[in-house]
Structure 1
C-alpha cells in the first residue's frame, strides 16, 4: 500500500498557517503498522492539484488522503478536480450530504453552503463531528477531508479504521553500531523486502556511528534478522549498543 498525503492550501506555503496534518497522519499510520509513501503540499492551483491527483491515480497501489479545498468558497477546488480525475464525470448532488447540510444550517445553507453537497459520482461520506458537513471517499481508497484539523483528523481515523480494521504497529528493534554505516552495507544488502530497514549515519564527536532499525509485522522474522546483524558484527569485531544512542555523550570521544 502506497499512502499519499496531499495537503492543499496556499496559506501553508506562505506561512499564514502552520501544517498540522503531516505529523498527525504519519503517526496514525505508524500506529497501524503503515507509513507514508509521499507527501505533497500544494497551492490552490487547479492544474497543479489535477497533476498530483493524476499521479496518485496512476499508481495501482495508491491510497490517498487529501486535506483541504472541499468547502464552498472560490478557492475550494478539490471536489471538482477529484470528480474530473477519479470519475471522469461532473459533480452530482449527493442526497445524504445535502440532507446533513440542511439539517445543520437550515435556510442558511443557501445560497453557498449547499454546494458542498455536490460531490463526485459514487462518493461515500465521512462523518464530520464538528458541523456535520461530510468529507468523502472514492473507490474505498481516496479520501478527501477539510483543512481544519478538528474536522479532518476524526474523518481520517474513521477512514483508517475501515481501511485497516486489523492493523497493529510494526514490531521494531534498533541498535547503534559504533562504526560507519559503510561497514554494514554487506549485511544490509541481504535484508529481505519484508523487513523495514532503516540506516541513519551520525557523528558522535569524531566517531562515526550508524543507527540501524529493523521493523516488521512478524516478530520472529525481525528477531531473526536482528540476531544475524549481531552475528555479523561479532565476526567483524564491530561494537554496538542496543537502541538509538546517536546523541548519547557516553559514546563520544572523552574530549567531546
Structure 2
C-alpha cells in the first residue's frame, strides 16, 4: 500500500554488546537504505541496553512518534534475550509459547533437542504476527507498528525481506549529488544556505570526507519531488561556479 504522505520509521537497537563496543552494528545503515527505497524515512535511531525498563521506554516513545519501529537484537535463547518479554510489557499483553513458532523451530531442531532454552525463541506476545526467518527458523514478530528482528545481520536481513510486503510505503526520495571539488565547506556555506531557503521542501546537506591528504566534499539534495531536487541541484551548481577555485561537477 502506497501513501502520498511521508511514512516514517525509527530503529531501536537492543544490546549491551553494542553499547560496550564489543559488537559493531551493521544493521542500522542496511535498514535505513532498504526503507529509503520504499519511501519510508528513518527519523530516529536509539541504542538501549538489555534492561527491560529501557527497552519498554524506548518502544513506547518511538511507536507513538513514528509509523514503524524496527528493533534488532535480544530474541535468542539465553537469559539476557529479553526483547520479546519487554515488547509484550510495552503493549500490555501476555506472552507465551506460540505453536506456530514451535513448528518452525522443529524444522531445524530435533524434538529431543528442543530444550527449555531453545523454546524461549518460540515465546511470542499475544496477537503478534510472525516474521519468517529462513536462515535459522527462529521467527521474529510484528505487533502493532513494531517489527522485532534478530541482531545477526544475515538473519535480520532475511526477516526484513519477509516483512517488507506488509509495510505501507511512501513516495521515494529523489537524491541528487554535487561534488564540491576544490572547495572547503566554509567557502560555500552561505550560498548553500540561500539555496536551502529557496527549496524548503528539499533536504540539503554537505558531507565532508578526508582521504589522500585532502577534503572531498559532497552536497546532497533529497526531495520527494524530482523536479524540485533537480532545480535545487542546478542552483547549487550555479552558486558554486561563481566561487574562486571551484571545480564542481554535476
TM norm. shorter chain > 0.5: yes
Call closer, same or farther: CA 1:34–1:196 in 2, change over 3 Å. farther
Cα distance, 1:220 vs structure 2: 2.2
Deviations 1:189-247 (A, max 9, x none): 12123x2322346899xx9997432123432222223234455667xx4465125xxxx
Residue 26 of structure 1: which of 18, 28, 32 is its match?
32
Task: Give RMSD over aligned pairs.
Answer: 3.0
Decide which moves more: 74-83 or 90-99.
Answer: 90-99
Aligned residue pair count: 235
In the alignment, which residue of structure 2 is the partner of 1:52?
58
Deviations 1:112-133 (A, max 9, x none): 3223222112111111112211
Cα distance, 1:154 vs structure 2: 0.9
TM-score w.r.t. length of structure 2 = 0.79
Q: Which runs of 5+ in 1 are unaligned?
A: 244-256
In the alignment, which residue of structure 1 is the partner of 2:4?
none
Native 8 Å contact 2:128 2:143 kept in 1: yes
Call closer, same or farther: CA 1:113–1:47 in 2, change over 3 Å. same
Call closer, same or farther: CA 1:232–1:174 in 2, change over 3 Å. closer
Residue 222 of structure 2: which of 215, 228, 235 is its match?
215
Native 8 Å contact 2:176 2:233 kept in 1: no
Native 8 Å contact 2:55 2:87 kept in 1: no
Deviations 1:161-195 (A, max 9, x none): 432578756342425284230233233112123x2
Call closer, same or farther: CA 1:74–1:187 in 2, change over 3 Å. same
Native 8 Å contact 1:173 1:222 kept in 2: no
Cα distance, 1:37 vs structure 2: 1.6
Decide which moves more: 223-232 or 103-112.
Answer: 223-232
In the alignment, which residue of structure 2 is the partner of 1:254?
none
Call closer, same or farther: CA 1:231–1:174 in 2, change over 3 Å. closer
Deviations 1:69-99 (A, max 9, x none): 11232111111111111x2112133221122
Residue 188 of structure 1: which of 174, 187, 196 is its match?
196
In the alignment, which residue of structure 1 is the partner of 2:204?
197
Residue 145 of structure 1: which of 141, 149, 153 is its match?
149
Cα distance, 1:42 vs structure 2: 2.0
Structure 2 residue matching 1:72: 3-state secondary structure: coil
Note if 1:43 corresponds to 2:43: no
Aligned pairs (5 A) from 1:75-224 = 75-85=80-90, 87-105=91-109, 106-139=111-144, 141-163=145-167, 170-176=174-180, 178=183, 179-193=187-201, 195-200=202-207, 211-224=218-231
Could you say which structure has the larger radius of gyration?
A: 1
Cα distance, 1:52 vs structure 2: 1.0
Relative contact order higher in (CA < 8 Å, ≥ 6 apart): 2
Q: Which runs of 5+ in 2 are unaligned?
A: 1-6
